[in-house]
Chain A
Amino acid sequence: MIVKSWNKEHPLQLALREQLEPSDDHLSAAPSRRTVVKLTGFAGVGLALGFSFAPRKAPASMEASPRGLEPNGYVHIRPDGSIRIYAPNPEVGQGVKTSMPIIIAAEMGANWDDVRVEQAPVDSERFGRQMAGGSTSILRGMESLRRAGATARLMLESAAAEAWRVPLDELWTSASRVMHKASGRSASFAELSEAASRQALPNVDHIVAQIRKDFSLGRRRISAVDNHALVVGEPLFGIDQRLPGMRYATFSKCPSAGGLVKSFNRDEVLAFPGVAHAFVVEPWGNIWDLRSGVAIVASSTWQALQAKRALSIEWDLSNAASDDVQASLAKALALEDQSGVREIELRGDVEAAFALAASKVAASYAYPFLTHAALEPQNCTAWYKGEEEGIEVWAPSQTIQMGKAMAAEMLGLAPDRVVMHQTRAGGGFGRRLANDYVLEAAAIAQRIEGPVKLQWTREDDMAHGQFRSAGVHHFRAGLDGDGRLVSFGNHHVSFTADGEKPVRGGRYSKGEFPALAVKNVKVTQTLLPFDTPMGFWRAPNSNGVAFATQSFLHELSVAADRDHTEFLLELLDDHPATGEGAWSFNPRRAQTVLRALAKRHAELRSKGEIPDPGVTLRRGQGVAFHFSHGGYIGINADVSISQDKRLRVHQVLVAADVGPVVHESGAKNQCEGSVIDAMSTLMGLEITCRDGCAEQDNFHVYPLGRISIAPKVIDTTFVDSDDRSTGLGEPVFPPVAPAICNAICNATGERLRQFPLSKFGYSYA
């Protein structure tokens, strides 16, 4: 195949990819040397992506002063008793602006009412990696955050111990006070802060070495820190930024990736009221960076939009993408045999076992391309102040440090001449892992030498998505006379842009369930060429793989006439533990989750809240399980479906082991949101493209689910866990769609192997 030059990834992007789609190295017990070398091999990559944790030494500002106590980059106890805590990572709706500061506050023993959370400056030296991706903020942030809180607490306690002449280990903190039980003494953090700031920096290694199980801060519901600002409409988001003298820009790119501007009707555009500039921007980097396009700069958004509407661009399409989604998917579906080009996992003798199997099942599953459709269209505000002063940027990015590094490289500025501010983002879902809008705004600001806000339209957002890769799985399995899985085959068809590696989100891991639990296995992969850029979409890989695999496993338990949960538990009995650390897979935790799910289901049934099977016609429940991003998630969906394919999801039960939960309300929000997102995706969402152009341009043809689809109940159970806390932005999504499809099958006998279901006549009631 001919590889498009614009599809070559930047080292920073490759490093990000490695992080979000870890190679199968994690399946081997020892950490791979290769990975370590690779990550540190690129100059500056470690720093820019923050693979290093926050430094342990105190900042220069730590000195005795009436300013209170500032023991590290995160915490400032002010003399008035308020406690400023920096939220280090971008908030995109996953809740880290609240949950990360809770970790610090819990470690300090602070009263949450005293805490004022502010978004941290972008500073990798102080805050390590500041990004939102892969559900990793809690996992990777935990140690630094606890260290920050414990340092503050020990300094306050030391100050109290000195003043009261009591041993340090008799002191503890609660509700922003240091207390001594024997003497009944106590003092507030504020009172102690000045003396505390004269204490030596304590060693807190022994504290953070232990898993912390309680983050409850007094057992009450904590409402997210920006909620007040949100309900009164304060400016928080990227799109809300305003600067003195700021202009408003649009940027129009070729709907087929890789198309270049030949010419455009400049005079006509410039004649529109308020339009100050209209110019061609030359591409830089690759397709995820700055593409060729036309910028229009006006005095208001509306003026820029009006001129954009009249814009007519002649494109050079000679090197542009010309993908056809329908043709590619048809080709993938036709590759039915088990002879994929790449071998992923071969074990035993799959053919012989299949030949001997008591029952045999073969089925093909497919899922479509998707776009992220975050509700806040991409935007970025940039103020170019000259070569000396550099540029200041306000961006709703998930990888703000990467945006900074790439903007500096593109503009030819030293990194310290690029000052980034992270804003709240109206949804991310993976789309804002790229910084195309940052580079566009920076390039436009440099050209006009002033402040400018770049605003994409919804149509721009849909046209220039970085799509969730479609995928097809051709399964074949054999069961023995006892209904045990003895042979498993999967031919996964995905896509490639360079002829070598799968597109983003197109990987298939050799450890993907259930291959390692089965004696005779053949997993292969074929990659079809596809140039249009793919991106990481909520729970990359897992979001499609789980639908296919967990549906097929249900087909097997039905064929074996087994209870599905029992069938899964038995498979897990045969599954080895893999890897080490948080990304490792522990089959015992998976079984605990499945049992907790079954228990909760039985409770609700005994209360009459879920009907017994067979009592109500065309009503049924279905189970699915998936492990991803460190999270063990079981789903039970209770659905009914009418003769004319109107589907109602009544209740969804979620059982999750994500380690100790940091912010319960936020964690449940992620579970509920993931259920709704998956329901919405399953029913109606698909991106098709022809000649490399997406055919969907706005929400009327990309029908995200509305409130009427929401179940009556989404019931979440968090399993008590002694393991490390992990993230919840992603892992709940993957098992929801297969649980619903398995429920439909249990209710009607009909097996659904492709979505969106609307293509097959289904709709939500």
Chain B
Amino acid sequence: MKIHVNGDTHALPEEFDSNTPLLWVLRDELGLVGSKYGCGIGQCGACTVHLDGEPVRSCLMPVGSLGDARITTIEGLARDGELTEVQQAWIDADVPQCGYCQAGQIMTVSALLEKTNLPSDAEIDAALAGNLCRCGTYMRIRQAIKSVARQRSSKNIEVAEA
């Protein structure tokens, strides 16, 4: 069985249990511990990764069901050490408190902002409805999302003016 994670292809041993959720393969087999275990039943979103660009709950996703899908985890967002605008916005807005849920939040928001440049509050609420933050960093999460959206729209204006 092979899985494709963050641009690398990993072979799992033949006898590997294909029912193992992707989360535990990432954490225990590949050492990618950025995706977190919070509930195991898809309620908290701390384990969110991208499957072909779509945010999914890796705690519920049997590794055997992935086929050729491309998985991206929080470790795979930055390229050559360069943070994405979402990651940078998280630092600039000083979003995290304990930080445990934030990988999942960032993965969900990254996918949202791929589709929607300027999400409304309602769209933000809907997209993040599956990501719990026990510390209550929701104000800063909204702030960070909006700062990315603002940057993008000012860039668009610059491009249009040029």
Contact = CB atoms under 8 A, between A and B. Distances in A.
By CB atoms of chain B within 10 A, which of A232, A427, A698 has the most? A232
Contacts of B40: 457-458, 698
A93 B139 contact: no
A699 interface: yes
Interface string A402-430: 00000000000000000000001111110
Given A224-B94, A375-B98, A676 B24 contact: no
B132 A699 contact: yes
Q: Which of A223, A233, A426 has the most CB of B within 10 A?
A: A233
B106 A707 contact: no
B134 interface: yes
Interface stretch (A50-58, A119-127, A664-672): A664-672
Contacts of A699: 39, 41, 43-44, 132
B17 to A, nearest CB: 7
Interface string A608-631: 000000000000000000000000
B135 A707 contact: no
B41 to A, nearest CB: 6
A707 B138 contact: yes
Interface in B21-41: 21, 24, 27-29, 31-41
Nearest to B121: A712
B38 A377 contact: yes
B74 interface: yes
Contact of A93 (B31, B33, B35, B98): B98
A234 interface: yes
Nearest to A98: B94
Interface string B55-77: 00000000000000000011101
B20 to A, nearest CB: 5
Contacts of B33: 233, 235, 239-240, 242
A106 B73 CA distance: 37
Interface residues of B, number: 58
B33 to A, nearest CB: 4
B28 A302 contact: yes
B46 A232 contact: no
Contacts of B74: 231-233
Given A301-B27, A302-B20, A669-B137, A233 B38 contact: no
A226 B28 contact: no
A235 B24 CA distance: 15
Interface in B123-141: 124-125, 128-129, 131-141
A231 B91 contact: yes
A714 to B, nearest CB: 6
A92 interface: yes
Given A666-B94, A672-B140, A673-B137, A232 B99 contact: no
A457 B101 CA distance: 16
A344 interface: no
A231 B97 contact: no
B103 interface: yes
A233 B100 contact: no
Nearest to B106: A231
Contacts of B132: 375, 699, 704, 706
Given A375-B38, A699-B43, A232 B75 contact: yes
B96 interface: yes
Contact of A673 (B73, B97, B142): B97
B83 interface: yes
Nearest to B20: A302
Given A239-B33, A239-B36, A300-B29, A376 B131 contact: no
Contact of B21 (A93, A302, A700, A704): A302
Nearest to B78: A232
Interface residues of A, number: 67
B142 A710 contact: yes
A376 to B, nearest CB: 5
Given A227-B91, A233-B34, A92 B98 contact: yes
Nearest to B27: A301
A699 B57 CA distance: 15
Contact of B129 (A376, A424, A708): A708
Contacts of A224: 94, 96
B90 A231 contact: yes
A582 interface: no
Given A248-B28, A426-B100, A669-B97, A375 B75 contact: no
B141 A707 contact: yes
Interface in B1-30: 17, 20-21, 24, 27-29
A665 B93 CA distance: 9
A236 B99 contact: yes
A427 B135 contact: yes
A427 B134 CA distance: 7
Interface in A227-253: 227-228, 230-237, 239-240, 242, 248
A39 to B, nearest CB: 30
A699 B41 CA distance: 9
Contacts of A455: 37
Nearest to B26: A233
B96 A226 contact: yes
Interface in A67-87: none
Contacts of B97: 93-95, 669-670, 673
A470 to B, nearest CB: 21
A303 B37 CA distance: 15
Contact of B103 (A228, A233, A273, A708): A233
A674 interface: yes
B135 A677 contact: yes
B32 A233 contact: yes
Given A427-B134, A672-B136, A672-B140, A231 B102 contact: yes
Q: Which residue among A670, A708, A711 has the maximum number of chain B CB atoms within 10 Å of its CB?
A: A708
A445 to B, nearest CB: 18
Contact of B46 (A375, A675, A708): A375
Interface in A426-449: 426-429
B92 interface: yes
B14 to A, nearest CB: 13
Contact of A230 (B29, B35, B44, B96): B96
B142 A424 contact: no
A218 B143 CA distance: 23
Interface in A209-234: 221-224, 226-228, 230-234
Contacts of B137: 669, 672-673, 676
Contacts of B142: 707, 710
A57 to B, nearest CB: 35
Contacts of A677: 134-136
Contacts of B28: 248, 300-302
Contacts of A665: 94
A231 B87 CA distance: 6
A669 B77 CA distance: 25
A624 B135 CA distance: 22
Given A232-B78, A302-B17, A672-B136, A237 B24 contact: no
A705 B34 contact: no
B140 to A, nearest CB: 7
Given A427-B135, A707-B131, A710-B139, 13 more contacts: A221-B92, A224-B96, A226-B96, A231-B87, A231-B90, A232-B77, A301-B24, A374-B134, A376-B100, A424-B99, A669-B97, A672-B140, A699-B44
Interface of B: 17, 20-21, 24, 27-29, 31-41, 43-44, 46, 73-75, 77-78, 83, 87, 90-92, 94-103, 106, 124-125, 128-129, 131-142
8 closest A-B pairs by beta carbon, nearest first, are A233-B34, A676-B136, A93-B98, A426-B100, A233-B74, A710-B138, A93-B97, A673-B136
